[in-house]
Amino acid sequence: MKRSEKIEYAQRFLQERIEKDFPYPFQVSGEENFFLFRLKNGRRECCARLRQSQEMLDVLCEGTKAEREVQVERLFDLLRAAIQAQASTALSEESDYEKVKNDLILRPLNYQSIREELEDVPHILAGDVALVLYAVMAHEGNDYFTAKMHRRQMESWRRPEREVLEEALVNTSFLYPPRIYCVEDILSWEKKQHGDGRFMTEGEAAPFRRGARGYLLTNSLEINGAIALFYPGVLKKLAESLGEDFYIAFTSIHEAQIHAAGMISPEAVEASLRDTNRHCNRREEVLTDRVYCYRKEEQKLGIIEDGEFLEVKRDE
């Protein structure tokens, strides 16, 4: 079986086992080398991810019954932890902010596609991109699950919403630091090294070089990595490293492509972005079809609309 066929088979198998043997109706889907498990419980929502490792796919598709049961039980342990966590920690309406603040993160989502869901969900709006407040309920390696927060769950914190959101953004940058890679390097690598992509601290061997056709910005986990553009100091650092204005194409929720303004036109960037969103991304992975731009001298972020620069100001 091809890898794509194994993924499809494994997804069906896991969905059937959840429906048959697990007491909560998680829905299984695929997302960028991960299986995604979603559960909506009233207005609460849990989201768990499990990496589609080759070993796991081989076991689910070709392993013995006992080997498959080990993988299923591993998944059920993760989902049980999600359910247990819903009734405690950050999701409790009596939670203590000081105890949960280090578990709060922001995730980048397409505002237009979820605007109705966000009526009671804390978020920062940056153009088409909503930076939405979530709580990390469990995290082991590349497998983790998060839960979307609602305002009523924050009432006991007695903190201004904007303050909570800004602190969550900083916390996200600590948990999942930004990484940037030159496109040419990615195409030639067999495997990234642990230190590859670091660029925020002086002395780190960042991949910036004159004439490069583009860079890929993400986070250390490479999940929901488009958020890295909004981390404190990242825009300014990118402009200093490139030495000029630059364009940003959010090619999915997981990353953004960075292009020096002197190397390509915004029209070309937009055409490529729209093609990527149309042919390569699932609907839930699309952030926007519009090209963002950062102006170095003015230190302003904006959207290019019909050739004009429209400044983006972050709003709650």
Q: What is the pLDDT of residues 42-95, one digit of tens each?
A: 555 677 788 888 999 999 999 999 999 999 998 998 888 777 766 555 556 557
3-state secondary structure the chain: CCHHHHHHHHHHHHHHHHHHHCCCCCEEEEECCEEEEEEEECCEEEEEEEECCHHHHHHHHHCCHHHHHHHHHHHHHHHHHHHHHHCCHHHCCCCCHHHHHHHEEEEEEEHHHHCCHHHHCCEEEECCEEEEEEEEEEEECCEEEEEECCHHHHHHHCCCHHHHHHHHHHHHHHHCCEEEEEHHHHHHCCCCCCCCCCCCCCCCCCCCCCCCCCEEEEECCCCCHHHHHHCCCHHHHHHHHHCCCEEEEEEECCEEEEEECCCCCHHHHHHHHHHHHHHCCCHHHCCCCCCEEEECCCCEEEEEECCEEEECCCEC
Segment 271-310, tens digit of pLDDT: 999 999 999 988 889 999 999 999 999 999 999 999 999 9
What the block records as the tokens of 96 is 């203590």
Angle between helices 65-86 and 54-62 (to 10 degrees): 120
Lowest mean pLDDT among 33-42, 187-196, 235-244: 187-196
Q: Which of 45-54, 136-145, 178-187, 266-275 has the highest mean pLDDT?
A: 266-275
Tell me, what's the pLDDT at 90?
57
Lowest mean pLDDT among 30-34, 45-49, 113-117, 250-254: 45-49
Residues 131-145 as b or e (16 or more Cβ within 10 Å = b): bbbbbbbbeeeebbb
Say yes or no to pLDDT of 209 above 70.
yes
Q: How confident is the model at residue 190 (pLDDT cuts 50, 70, 90)?
A: low
Segment 141-169, tens digit of pLDDT: 666 678 888 898 888 899 999 999 999 99
**What count of Cα atoms within 13 Å lies in the side-chain half-sphere of residue 132?**
26
* The model scores a pTM over 0.85: no
Tell me, what's the pLDDT at 146?
81
Name which residue leads in pLDDT, 137 or 37: 37
